[in-house]
Amino acid sequence: MPKLSVIVPFYNVQQYAPDTLRSLRSNAREDIEFVLVDDCSTDATSDILERAVRELPGAVLVGHERNEGLATARNTGIDTARGDYLTFLDGDDWLAPGYLPQLLAAIEELGCDFVRTDHVQCTGRARGIHRVPHGRRSTVLNPREAILPADRSTSVDYAYAWAGVYDRRLVDRGLLHFTDGLRTAEDRPWIWKLHREADTFAVVGLLGVHYRRGVASSLTQIGDVRQLDFLRAFDQVVEETARDPEADRFLPKAVRTYCAIMAHHLGSAGRFEPAVARKLRSLCAAALRRLPQDLLAEVMDTMDAERAGRLRRVRRRPVAARTTAARTVAV
């Protein structure tokens, strides 16, 4: 049985898949399994994966009959994986040679539920190191204590699933799966759930994941309706955090982050198709009405004037009855 399973979803990444697969080969070892998930690609990605599975030691290929999105593709990989530990990689990113054995050694040595790592962001030829926003390294900690403070970037804001490794006991406890069907922001409810409900975690200064930013086929670059799934994702964050025994502590952070993301999307609404931009504003108006109003007022009073202004303007928009049907989250 493998010690480590690496789950790699692919969808229409024929330009990048060969680099990704070469990086997996440079990390192959007898105790490492590669679970390749083809999310019903329509370009040459499927042919590339068919060839790769014959050449890559420890590779398993799983296919979807229809495109399900990244969250569901990762869940397929989790359900297929046999390793004691699991990690992720996206089909257009790559790993440094020898990174996976180091990652496995880190979590085995620390013995915690999950370990988070830094990563290299690659935009064209530019490279930049992005670090987990948590100061203490190589120390086992309570993940709940890394959620706050509300007014600063913390571990729950560093939501990249591929920047870390996870003990199988998280799968057994129902904490590692993603929300099926989310097309974007799928990492957000997932990282919040981990930090609220797992017992232990650590951060290590290990670089090896190269995250390719600005890929034209990435949903972050496409202004269609799938981008609006961030609202469903953050609704889930707020609703689940509101049920936490320490909701009074954590809910202000969840509401503040939700508002910041809404303001960001509203500020870049011009990249959306006109009908999608209108829907974005309507859905944001409804979302603002669902939030705890006292917390919302506090958040907007402490935001910068430009972002707060965007939220206040959209909050005044009339909202269709069917959009306001969702219940308001209570603290």
Q: Cβ(266)–Cβ(276) under 8 Å?
A: no
Tokens of 331: 């603290």
Amino acid at 108: E
- What is the set of domains in the chain, with CATH numbers? 4-219 (3.90.550.10), 223-315 (no CATH)
160: left (phi over 0), alpha (psi -120 to 50) or beta: beta
Amino acid at 193: K
- At 131, phi and psi to the nearest 5? -110, 150
Separation between Cα atoms, residue 298 and residue 277, nearest integer Å = 27
Ranges of the chain whose pLDDT falls below 50:
218-221, 321-328, 331
Alpha carbon distances (Å) from 59 to 2, 71, 162: 11, 21, 18
pLDDT at site 5:
98
pLDDT at site 319:
63
**b/e 293-310 (16+ beta carbons within 10 angstroms → b):** eebbeebbeebeeebbeb
CB neighbour class for 21 (10 Å; exposed up to 12, middle 13-18, buried from 19): buried
Closest CA to 82 of 209, 180, 171, 9: 171
Closest CA to 311 of 261, 274, 253, 239: 261
pLDDT at site 298:
95
pLDDT at site 331:
44
- For 240-270, the pLDDT digits (tens) are 999 999 999 999 999 999 999 999 999 999 8
Q: Which residues contact 325 (CB under 8 A, 6 or more apart)?
A: none
pLDDT at site 324:
42
Q: Which residues contact 243 (CB under 8 A, 6 or more apart)?
A: none
CB neighbour class for 201 (10 Å; exposed up to 12, middle 13-18, buried from 19): buried
pLDDT at site 221:
45
pLDDT at site 69:
94
- For 88-143, the pLDDT digits (tens) are 999 999 999 999 999 999 999 999 999 999 999 999 999 999 999 998 999 999 99
Amino acid at 273: E
